[in-house]
Homo-oligomer: A and B are copies of this chain.
């Protein structure tokens, strides 16, 4: 099913009743493919539906008047991208596809209806929103506390574990489609500095990057360098 990864993620909080699961599976109403860089939701708009990543990768970003861009979230398959727009509108940021991606759209009215019949599901969705916020806090700590190479290492650790939760890590290797410019806009540093920091990580033989793929050569060392503690991701192993 389309929403299987989402259900698997939500159940990391609390198992869903079979009825709730069925209701979730019946929820998405539109499925669409987006090309790399294509806008999914625009800053300032007030969408009446929320998006789920089915395949590929999406990110959310804020843009200032002069064109500068800050990426504020990154989403892998199974993530409810803009669940918050269910209650908080207009959007304070845009959503775009980081690569060719498949996105499912769920009307807010449909969410409201499902929650009405399965009130307990509300807690699972609140958990998902809270998890999103926890990741944002961790990013703040990464930006404020860690020098550039550590910060990038931290990002790679996070994506390693999130992709693994989505079942998308094979042989310590996963798809990573952000350009160095994207990484810079995410970490708050210039693309040139990203380039040099990545070179440092490769020189230490912590990672390999080829095409749109990252291979983690020494997870323990990468975690130590990044001072990464996966607790904030609330993974269940």
Instruction: Please judge, given known A-B contacts A87-B126, A126-B126, whether A140 and B64 are in contact too, CB under 8 Å.
Output: no
Give every chain B residue within 8 A of A21 (Cβ-Cβ).
none
26 inter-chain pairs at a CB distance below 8 angstroms, sorted by A residue, are A13-B87, A62-B137, A62-B141, A64-B145, A68-B145, A70-B141, A70-B144, A70-B145, A72-B140, A72-B141, A87-B123, A87-B127, A88-B134, A92-B134, A93-B137, A115-B122, A119-B119, A125-B126, A129-B130, A129-B133, A133-B136, A139-B140, A140-B188, A143-B144, A143-B188, A145-B188
Give every chain B residue within 8 A of A88 (Cβ-Cβ).
127, 130-131, 134, 234
Give every chain B residue within 8 A of A138 (Cβ-Cβ).
62, 92
Give every chain B residue within 8 A of A133 (Cβ-Cβ).
84, 129, 132-133, 136
Q: How far is the CB of A94 from chain B (nearest CB, A)?
A: 12
Is A65 in contact with chain B by the CB < 8 A criterion?
Answer: yes
Give every chain B residue within 8 A of A73 (Cβ-Cβ).
137
Give every chain B residue within 8 A of A125 (Cβ-Cβ).
126
Q: Which residue on B lies nearest to A43, using beta carbons?
A: B231
Q: Which residue on B lies nearest to A132, using beta carbons?
A: B133
Sample of 19 further A-B pairs with CB below 8 A, known A60-B137, A88-B127, A92-B138: A62-B141, A64-B145, A70-B140, A70-B144, A84-B130, A87-B123, A87-B130, A88-B131, A88-B134, A88-B234, A90-B231, A122-B122, A126-B129, A129-B130, A133-B133, A139-B140, A140-B140, A144-B187, A145-B188
Is A227 in contact with chain B by the CB < 8 A criterion?
Answer: yes
Q: How far is the CB of A103 from chain B (nearest CB, A)?
A: 20
Tell me how many chains of this kind the complex includes.
2
Q: How far is the CA of A129 from the CA of B137 in the complex (A)?
A: 13
Give every chain B residue within 8 A of A115 (Cβ-Cβ).
122
The interface bits of chain A over 225-237 (1 if a CB of B lies within 8 angstroms of the residue's CB, else 0) are 0010001101000
